[in-house]
Amino acid sequence: MKERDIFRRTRKNIIVVSVGIVMAALLIYAMITAQLYKRHVFKDVDQQILMQRNQIIHAPNLIKYRGERMVEVMIPAPVTFNLLSFVWLDDKLVGKSPHDYLGDNLYPDFTGYTVDEIFTLEDGEYIYRAIQFTKQGLKIQLLINVNSEIASVKALEKSLGISFLILIVIALILASYLAVSVLNPLKILYNKQLAFIQDSSHEMRTPLAVIKGRLELLVRHKNDKVEEHYEEISIIMKELWGLEKLNSDLLLMSKEDMGMKLEITSFSLNEFISEIGEFYTDFAEIQDKQFNVNLLEEDIEVSWDKSKMKRCIVILIENALKYTGSGDEITINVFKKDKMIKIEVADTGVGIKEEDQERIFDRFFRSSEARASGKEGSGIGLSLLKSIAYGLDVKIDLRSVYGEGAKFTLTMSKQLKNS
């Protein structure tokens, strides 16, 4: 339940944050676009108004007098047909542009607006860009209707709004997809870790129970001599030894999973294999098993992480010793092909059932026969081998016929690179 909550909350956060970022970016984009468009649309209109104003300002004389009487106000011809001009003298209209489409007495009200600066004037349903200024005691008003420009700005704002909504929906879908694809591998990993911890503690339960039981027995007979309980003590020691091995295997595996650095050195391959072989030949002899080592005819130098490679081979040899009986045979073969080396560990033991062959590399997996046989182990060996092999770029192959034996092959380059 908790596990689900963690991922649900994280998924929600990823979606909210990514949609929020997209939303903010789109909003800024829409605002800048609308602003730039508005400025561009009004630029031409404003230029025409300024041109007309300049013509009026620079005209030598606007008023024609006859004697003392003002006869006419002469305004330069409009630079564009839709430019309106009104000239006032003491609140009386004394001149206007020829194309006054507003009709009589329907002049826009300029009161309250700035002087000598272009502004947007709203007059009922009409909107203008306009300017007012004075010359020779005359108040001059220039304006151009911008209703169609405003309509196009509104249309742009509307389409920006619609595309904003569509893009947010798309962003929401993509963010949900992103959240799922980012979180799913983590969820799998999280569940694996959880299962790993549960399996580890489960594996420790049995030996701990055995140790506890035997110790309780010893405590109850505290006056007895040690040798009288030799069997209990040796069982305790065996279980402790198993726990110690499990602990060091788990630690090693977690280190491998973290991707520890390799320590690559160059050494002779035949010497390396025969050293390992010699150590186990005695073991095999004690168990009445034959141990063969077939080295390369011509020795070569390899550049490997020696201790890790040794660990891989030892895991296979220990399994071969564990899952064979007296009279069986264990063979190590070394081959070289071009730059590749193959190391085989083959045995004539119990073999592995077809359906178990994939699963034996899973953590804590032991075949039912292995569990029933009473042979010590916790099913960590081969999964540790898989983790180490991954880090060393070593390929593992398995061939086995149930009842006839098993053959594990490690294939790797003779020169490992430290990546």
Ligand X SMILES: Nc1ncnc2c1ncn2[C@@H]1O[C@H](COP(=O)(O)OP(=O)(O)OP(=O)(O)O)[C@@H](O)[C@H]1O
Name which of 378 and 387 has its Cβ closer to ligand X.
378
Tell me the window of 25-33, 66-74, 318-326, 358-366 that interacts with Mg ion (CB under 5 A). Answer: 318-326
Of 73 and 382, nearer to Mg ion (C-beta) is 382
The tokens 């947010």 sit on which residue? 168
Q: Are 403 and 350 in contact (CB under 8 A)?
A: yes
Integer Cα distance of 376 and 363 in angstroms: 16
Which member of 319, 348, 378, 400 binds Mg ion (CB under 5 A)? 319
Distance of alpha carbon 97 from alpha carbon 78, whole angstroms: 7
- Interaction of residue 378 with Mg ion, rule CB under 5 A: no
Stretch that binds Mg ion, among 61-69, 246-254, 314-322, 403-411 (CB under 5 A): 314-322
Residue 380 touches which of ligand X, Mg ion, none (Cβ within 5-8 Å per kind):
ligand X
Q: Is 88 helix (H, G, I), strand (E, B) or coil?
A: strand
Question: Which of ligand X, Mg ion, none sits in contact with 366, Cβ below 5 to 8 A by type?
Answer: ligand X
**Interface with Mg ion: number of residues (CB under 5 A):** 2
Helix (H, G, I), strand (E, B) or coil at 338: coil
Provide, rounded to whole angstroms, the least separation between the CB of residue 361 and ligand X.
7
Rounded to a whole number of angstroms, the minimum distance from the CB of residue 414 to ligand X is: 26
CA 113/CA 130 separation, integer angstroms: 10
Q: Which is nearer to Mg ion, 149 or 256 (CB)?
A: 256
The number of angstroms, rounded, from the C-alpha of 292 to the middle of its chain's C-alpha atoms is: 50
By CB under 6 A, name the binding residues for ligand X. 319-320, 322-323, 347, 349-352, 360, 365-367, 370, 377-383, 406
Q: Is 242 in the site for Mg ion (CB under 5 A)?
A: no
Contacted entry of Mg ion, ligand X, none for residue 175, CB cut-off 5 to 8 Å set by kind: none
- Angle at which helices 381-392 and 306-322 pack, to 10 degrees? 150
User: How many CB atoms within 10 Å of residue 207?
Assistant: 20
**From candidates 277, 349, 351, 381, binder to Mg ion by CB under 5 A:** 381
Q: Which residues contact 304 (CB under 8 A, 6 or more apart)?
A: 264, 265, 267, 392, 412, 416
Nearer to ligand X, 108 or 381 (CB): 381
User: Which is nearer to ligand X, 96 or 359 (by Cβ)?
Assistant: 359
Nearest residue to 142 via CA among 19, 267, 48: 48
Q: Which of the choices Mg ion, ligand X, none does residue 280 contact, using the CB cut-off of 5 to 8 A by kind? A: none
Total number of residues shown for the chain: 419
> Of the two residues 159 and 247, which places its CB atom closer to ligand X in the complex?
247
Q: 311 near 249, Cβ under 8 Å?
A: no
Q: Name the minimum Å distance from CB 380 to Mg ion.
A: 7
Outline where DSSP puts E strands in 174-318.
264-268, 290-294, 301-305
Here the tokens at position 76 are: 């330069």
Which C-beta is closer to Mg ion: that of 78 or that of 381? 381
Binding site for Mg ion (CB under 5 A): 319, 381
